[in-house]
Amino acid sequence: MKKVFLYLSFLLITAVNLQAQRGIKVAYIDMEYILDNVSEYKEASQQLESRTQKWRAEVEGKMQHVEDMKQNLENERALLTKELIEEREEEISYEEKAILDYQQEKFGPQGQFIVQKRQLIQPVQDQVFNAVQEIGEKRQYDFIFENSADALLLYSAERHDISDQVLSIIQRSSRKLELENRRDQKAKQEEVATEPYKSVEKAAKDKQETVEREAKRQAQVNEREQLLNERQRRRDSIRDVRQQKFEERRAKLLKEREQQAKTRDSLRNIREARNNK
């Protein structure tokens, strides 16, 4: 921030020195205003926001699951052996680490949110830069600033705002690109319409190749699904075995406690019988 201030101070001093020789032509742009009026950026921002909300919901769901695991452990701690308690605590630690890793993957410094945000804004920034260069050369501006906190632009008259001009160039380029895409699409359609007639054998061969490609693709999809299902089956099997062992140990502990209670009752009855005699 200090470097930016010193740099702008140097520019202003230079401007004052040059004022004696000729008028200084200065302009600025409002980046937020431009971004808010670029339809492609707004649509992509909405998609990213929707994706972000989904990630946050997944994190909250995982955290709630861990809280439930902790609560269940506290409720059943008195009935569990030391080994089972340690096993439960280890599983909880694993789940908590998985949540942290997921948050880092989505929202960390190199996470998907930052990467996709950068990918989203970079093309618009490039368009703004090109438009500013074009306007600066055509209208012979001496300085063009960005009206943001980093630039320390504390005041500027509205007449120096060229954001609409920049936005107009961006929109014109967007319309031009859209028109070119339409022309390309029309040319492809015309090319398909004028494509030579295929023989019956060639058409049958192409159809067979398409079927084979689709079958190969479907086989790959099925293989991936089978691997995922197998992994899920293994996890479920391990969980079931752990649950079964827990239930068996719990039943054993309850039975031992019941037997101990009966034994205490029998001893108490014997003592009472002796005392009555």
3-state secondary structure 100-117: HHHHHHHHCCCCHHHHHH
**What is the average pLDDT across 2-10?**
49
- The CA distances from residue 274 to 260, 262, 263, 268, 277, in Å, are 21, 18, 17, 10, 5
Alpha-carbon gap, residue 236 to 98, rounded angstroms: 18
Q: What is the DSSP letter of 28?
A: E
Please give the average per-residue pLDDT across 55-59, as a whole number. Answer: 92
Residue 116 phi, psi (nearest 5): -70, -35
Task: Please tell me which of 11-25, 195-209, 237-251 the model is most confident about, judged by mean pLDDT.
Answer: 237-251
Confidence of residue 35 (pLDDT cuts 50, 70, 90): confident
Name the DSSP class of 79: G
Radius of gyration of the chain (CA): 36
Task: Give the pLDDT band (50/70/90) at residue 60.
Answer: very high
Q: Is the pLDDT of residue 157 over 70?
A: no
Banded model confidence at residue 71, pLDDT cuts 50, 70, 90? very high
| Amino acid residing at 144 | I
How open is the CA angle 233-236-238, to the nearest 5 degrees? 110
Query: What burial letters (b/e) apply to 124-134, b meaning 16+ CB within 10 Å?
Result: beebbeebbee
Q: Does 200 have pLDDT greater than 70? A: no
State how far the Cα of 102 lies from the Cα of 57, in Å rounded to an integer. 12
Spatial separation of the C-alpha atoms in residues 153 and 205, rounded to whole Å:
68
Average predicted confidence (pLDDT) for the chain: 77
Per-residue model confidence (pLDDT) at position 20:
43
Contacts of 144 (CB under 8 A, 6+ apart): 26, 27, 28, 29, 132, 135, 136, 162
Instruction: Write the DSSP assignment of 107-166 as a string of letters.
Output: HSTTSHHHHHHHHHHHHHHHHHHHHHHHHHHHHT-SEEEE-STTTT-----GGGB-HHHH
CA angle 61–115–55, rounded 5-degree value: 10
Token pair for 227: 């691997």
Q: CA–CA separation, 209 vs 40, rounded Å?
A: 38
Q: Is 248 left (phi over 0), alpha (psi -120 to 50) or beta?
A: alpha
Mean pLDDT of 188-199: 57
Tokens matching residue 29: 């742009």
* Window from 28-37, 71-80, 214-223 with minimum mean pLDDT: 214-223
Q: Which residues contact 128 (CB under 8 A, 6 or more apart)?
A: 29, 31, 34, 166, 170
C-alpha span between 116 and 252 (Å, rounded): 55
